[in-house]
Amino acid sequence: VSAAGLAHAWDAPGSNRTNALGGVLSLSSGPHYLPSGIWAEAAITHAYSRVEANARRAFPLAGFRFTPEIRFGWGRRLPLMTTFMLGGTDGFPGLNIGELRGDRELFASFNIARPLLGPVEVRLTAASGQTAFGGPTLPRGRWQAGGRIGLAAETPIGPIRVEYGVARDERNGFFVRLGDWF
């Protein structure tokens, strides 16, 4: 559990407010890089409110590692840079990172990984989710669906991933990541 004050200043096109003062409350079961855990954070300021929660649980079975994950986000009067990206910092399979944003997010994924050689593993991920601006707490409307397949390795310089993703409406693209996003 951690709590802190928050001073946030920004300049964005179309924004009529450029600063916010408030506080942040975080709850976590450990660092985000752990394969299992629960993480939640609420930021309340005089300019905007933002709440997010993320949970994932990795479990081994028959030489595979299965990892379901769920993310939820809700915000009010969010500046663009604090809106929710569908799929978080990994983005959504087949789409550009940050392509779908909103002040509401609901996202679920299921990852299957199998070690190949040393630290290298093959990964398969299925995902579904939605972002929206305004409306009910849980976004309504068309849900995105997609998947990724590729290779990953845990190295001394951080994780390395090379994956190919496909989303509905014939969207696709490579996902290449060296290290963790902060």
Q: What is the pTM of this model?
A: 0.88
Q: Which residues, 6 or more positions from 117, have their beta carbon under 8 angstroms from its beta carbon?
A: none
Q: Could you say which DSSP state residue 143 is in? A: P
Strand 84-85 relative to strand 64-76, pairing: unpaired
What count of Cα atoms within 13 Å lies in the side-chain half-sphere of residue 133? 8
Statement: residue 162 has pLDDT above 70: yes
pLDDT tens-digit series, residues 49-64: 999 999 999 999 999 9
CB 13 within 8 A of CB 20: no
pLDDT tens-digit series, residues 62-85: 999 999 999 999 999 998 889 999
* CA 68/CA 28 separation, integer angstroms: 18
